Amino acid sequence: MGEEGPGGTVHLLCLAASSGVPLFCRSSRGGAPTRQQLPFSVIGSLNGVHMFGQNLDVQLKSARTEDTTVVWKSFHDSVTLIALSSEAGTSELRLERMLHMVFGAMVLVVGLEELTNIRNVERLKKELRATYGLIDSFLGNSELIGDLTQCVDCVIPPEGSLLQDTLSGFAEATGTAFVSLLVSGRVVAATDGWWRLGMPEAVLLPWLVGSLPPQAARDYPVYLPHGSPTVPHRLLTLTLLPRLELCLLCGPRPPLSQLEPQLLERWWQPLLDPLRTCLALGARALPDGFPLHGDILGLLLLHLELKRCVFTVEPLRDKEPSPEQRRRLLRNFYTLVTTTHFPPEPGPAEKEDAAHPAQVPRACYLVLGPGMGWGQSSVSLFIRSQ
């Protein structure tokens, strides 16, 4: 299993499927956005070989060269996304899921109608600029993992019941069923209505809030790629503490002015200390004193039925490898076991195999020895299916 190299480059191309006109190109190097662009001849060749296959009823999904992995994906026969990565160990699964997240982000901001019925290419290009911050976060080294697991990144607050009860009361007071409390793009608590949101908006909405510049309050129009791709909703955000925000998904009401400071003080001022303890959960995800073995350097826990996950690489800061390296290792290991041993969507068993069911793996582990860039220690990665 390779490790994503710190100097690897990721390019994302978005083109109009019918004409091949580029709508935008985003790039990152070593996890940071870069202005490096692909030559137009390369963009044309990548799109041309994909269109050539379509004309022959051949679907070109991915390709590999000595140092680059390429994945193509068309959406609604209107938009084609192409991802190229020179990072060592990059898998097609990671790039394919990134493309789905990118298209979901495009729908979230501009709506499906604008993407499937392109009337004015130049106007669409301008509208898509509002997606760049969110899209760039998918290309970089994010502290979140929902883009890969397709599960909502969550934290475990020490006083979760108290926060949940307060959130439910606040939602009832505002007449809004879709409310959540977020810290650094992770869900601390949410109403039942919020948890009923479909994919990918359940992952995209917290990710969007985490990618926006800090503001005391926002009234942000969004489309729901699954639930309402053509009719916009309003995403209201209210900052309680730095990086800790209330999010309300609603229709025309309530107006932002109705959420006065008195209403926030009534519900949230008594919880100031529990709210402050949530700030440390942004990176760690687990509360202080959580019973975790001292040798665990990182943890990814997924509830596949509820589509929620807890992801942390900072239970211990004073050991090698670094949190950035741990994050890359966990993401690569999850990709490995998902593509080889634990398919995310196993197919139904064949009737003739009913008497002799296939062996289903319950656990998988991998040991990486010295020489991987963090001294003379070794790292073991382990996954278990329940």
State pLDDT tens for residues 179-212.
999 999 999 999 999 999 999 999 999 999 999 9
Q: What would you report as the CA-atom Rg of the chain, rounded to the nearest whole angstrom? A: 22
Question: How many structural domains compose the chain?
Answer: 3
What CATH number is given to the structural domain containing 42? 3.30.450.70
> Would residue 84 count as lying in a domain?
yes
Residue 1's pLDDT band, with cuts at 50, 70 and 90, is very low
At residue 303, the pLDDT reads 92
Q: Which of 109, 141, 173 is the last residue of a domain?
A: 141
> Would residue 166 count as lying in a domain?
yes
CB distance 139 to 118 below 8 Å: no
> Would residue 44 count as lying in a domain?
yes
Give tens-digit pLDDT for 210-235: 999 989 999 999 999 999 999 999 99
Same domain membership, residue 20 and residue 135 = yes
Same domain membership, residue 160 and residue 103 = no
CB distance 333 to 325 below 8 Å: no
**Of 281 and 246, which is predicted with more confidence?**
246
- Domain of residue 207 covers 152-284
> DSSP letters of 123-166?
HHHHHHGGGHHHHHHHHS--S--HHHH-SEEE---TTHHHHHHH
Q: Which residues, in sequence order, are CB contacts of 314 under 8 Å at separation 6+?
A: 283, 284, 323
Tell whether the torsion through CA atoms of 140, 142, 147 and 148 is positive or negative.
positive
Same domain membership, residue 50 and residue 108 = yes
What CATH number is given to the structural domain containing 234? 3.30.450.30
> Would residue 204 count as lying in a domain?
yes
Decide: helix, strand or coil at residue 356: coil
Per-chain mean pLDDT for the chain:
86
Mean pLDDT along residues 53-65: 86
Mean pLDDT along residues 311-319: 77
Give tens-digit pLDDT for 65-105: 888 999 999 999 999 999 999 887 788 999 999 999 999 99
Same domain membership, residue 258 and residue 162 = yes
Same domain membership, residue 130 and residue 16 = yes
> Would residue 320 count as lying in a domain?
no
Q: What's the pTM value of the predicted model, to 2 decimals?
A: 0.89
Q: Which residues, in sequence order, are CB contacts of 133 under 8 Å at separation 6+?
A: 211, 212
CB distance 380 to 365 below 8 Å: yes
> DSSP letters of 293-313?
-TT---EEEEETTTTEEEEES
CB distance 155 to 314 below 8 Å: no
Mean pLDDT along residues 277-303: 86
Q: How far apart are CA 316 and CA 330, in angstroms?
A: 15
Same domain membership, residue 252 and residue 371 = no
Q: Which residues, in sequence order, are CB contacts of 252 under 8 Å at separation 6+?
A: 234
Same domain membership, residue 156 and residue 110 = no
Beta strands 217-224 and 186-190 are: unpaired
Backbone φ and ψ for 272, nearest 5 degrees, come out as -60, -45
> DSSP letters of 196-251?
T--TTHHHHHHHHHHHSPP-SEEEEEEEETTTEEEEEEEEEEEEEETTEEEEEEES
At residue 187, the pLDDT reads 97
Q: How far apart are CA 205 and CA 58, in angstroms?
A: 35
Q: Which of 78, 107, 141 is the last residue of a domain?
A: 141
Scanning the structure block, which residue is given the tokens 């309402």? 228
Q: What amino acid occupies position 243?
A: R
Residue 140's pLDDT band, with cuts at 50, 70 and 90, is confident
- Write the DSSP symbol of residue 289: T
- 8: number of CA atoms within 13 Å, CB side? 21
Scanning the structure block, which residue is given the tokens 């809030």? 209
Q: How far apart are CA 164 and CA 191, in angstroms?
A: 8
In this predicted structure, the answer to whether residue 148 has a pLDDT above a threshold of 70 is yes
Same domain membership, residue 254 and residue 216 = yes
CB distance 382 to 364 below 8 Å: yes
Same domain membership, residue 176 and residue 79 = no
Q: How far apart are CA 232 and CA 229, in angstroms?
A: 7
In this predicted structure, the answer to whether residue 147 has a pLDDT above a threshold of 90 is yes
CB distance 283 to 314 below 8 Å: yes
At residue 265, the pLDDT reads 86
Q: Which of 95, 121, 141 is the last residue of a domain?
A: 141
**Highest mean pLDDT range out of 54-68, 70-84, 281-295?**
70-84
At residue 2, the pLDDT reads 40
**Of 283 and 207, which is predicted with more confidence?**
207
Same domain membership, residue 95 and residue 58 = yes
> Would residue 80 count as lying in a domain?
yes
> Would residue 290 count as lying in a domain?
no
At residue 359, the pLDDT reads 67
Nearest to 282 by CA among 166, 192, 157: 157
In this predicted structure, the answer to whether residue 267 has a pLDDT above a threshold of 80 is yes
Same domain membership, residue 382 and residue 273 = no
> Would residue 323 count as lying in a domain?
no
Give tens-digit pLDDT for 340-377: 777 655 444 444 455 555 667 778 888 876 655 555 45
Same domain membership, residue 134 and residue 34 = yes
How buried is 167 (Cβ within 10 angstroms: 0-12 exposed, 13-18 middle, 19+ buried)? Answer: buried
CB distance 226 to 198 below 8 Å: yes
